[in-house]
Amino acid sequence: MPAPVLSGPQYLNAGLKLVLSPGLRLFVLLPLLLNLILFSAMIYFSVQQFSGVLATLMGSLPSWLSFLEYLMWPLFVLLLLVVVFFSFTMLANLIAAPFNGFLAEKVEVVARGQDDFPPFSWAELVAMVPRTMGREMRKLGYFLPRAIVLLVLTFIPVINLIATPLWILFGIWMMAIQYIDYPADNNKMSWQDMLAWLRQKRWQSLSFGGITYLALMVPGLNILMMPAAVAGATLFWVRERG
């Protein structure tokens, strides 16, 4: 067994290899396609709206200020990239949640060599939506109060010096919760029991959450790393629970 603080990268790497295998690609490609369609539509709509607002604004300004248009477009693109980067993980997780549940099931079958789950069907996928959405809302309910407290600390002099490392540590912890919750939910483990188990495996959890946190910060790579994190978290679940 690897040392607890080194186990995270190994689980994520093993998860990446699994999701690239032929039998699991369906659960990666479908949510990926849905996310690409959603974000393409959002970007197109945003560009169209900004173009109309900018045209109206420039029409009300004197001609000698026309150079402002060449400054505002780069600023808009930068803002759009920031918004897409920070909203991608949250929205993508919501859209992919039912697929991630099935992906976690199939990875667990591979890891255990034993299939205790019902076979994949579209009806079963649709039936999973309310449960997985409810679990995602539970994660959001866990995240928001703590994020608000950290946000308040950020504006308090002196105390705000520790706000940044606390944000990073909290983000790492949330990554562990986000992805290990899929196999835990499939195995009917309650939310509180799942949190208690992660605390028992604190160093392993932070190791996995940390490497996942870093991987998801890389634009482009984060699209593939999300299903890899689901698979890696499932391997974490199976092996750490023995």
Query: What does the pLDDT average to over 80-94?
Result: 64
Residue 51, domain member (yes or no) = no
- Cα separation, 106 vs 119, in Å, equals 9
Domain count, the chain: 1
CB count, 10 Å around CB of 24?
19
Residue among 216, 211, 215 nearest 236 (CA): 211
Token pair belonging to 1? 């067994």
In terms of phi and psi (left: phi > 0; alpha: psi -120 to 50; beta: otherwise), the region of 211 is: alpha
Token pair belonging to 141? 């309910």
Provide the pLDDT for residue 114: 66
Provide the pLDDT for residue 8: 83
Place 75 in a pLDDT band, splitting at 50, 70 and 90. Answer: confident
Residue 55, domain member (yes or no) = no
Model pTM above 0.85 = no
Using alpha carbons, list the distances in angstroms from residue 137 to 31, 75, 97, 142: 19, 33, 11, 9
- Residue 71 in this model has a pLDDT that exceeds 60: yes
Does residue 225 contact residue 98 with C-beta atoms inside 8 Å? no
- Residue 57 in this model has a pLDDT that exceeds 80: no
Please write the tens of the pLDDT for every residue from 136-183. 889 989 988 998 998 888 888 778 788 888 988 998 999 999 999 999
Residue 43, domain member (yes or no) = no
3-state SS class at 52? helix
Residue 69, domain member (yes or no) = no
Please write the tens of the pLDDT for every residue from 187-198. 989 999 999 999
Provide the pLDDT for residue 3: 62
Q: 66 burial class (0-12, 13-18, 19+ CB within 10 angstroms)?
A: exposed
Residue 11, domain member (yes or no) = yes
Residue 53, domain member (yes or no) = no
- Tell me which residue range forms the domain holding 104: 4-26+88-240
Provide the pLDDT for residue 120: 60
Let me know the angle formed at the C-alpha of 178 by 235 and 233, rounded to the nearest 5 degrees. Answer: 5
Q: What is the DSSP string of 110-152?
A: HHHT---SPPP-HHHHHHHHHHHHHHHHHHHHHHHHHHHHHHH
Residues in CB range of 153: below 8 A, 6 or more apart: 159, 160, 162, 163, 166
Residue 165, domain member (yes or no) = yes
- Cα separation, 6 vs 208, in Å, equals 8
CB count, 10 Å around CB of 64?
7
Residue with the bigger pLDDT between 220 and 49: it is 49
Provide the pLDDT for residue 20: 84
Residue 76, domain member (yes or no) = no
One-letter amino acid for residue 213 of the chain: Y
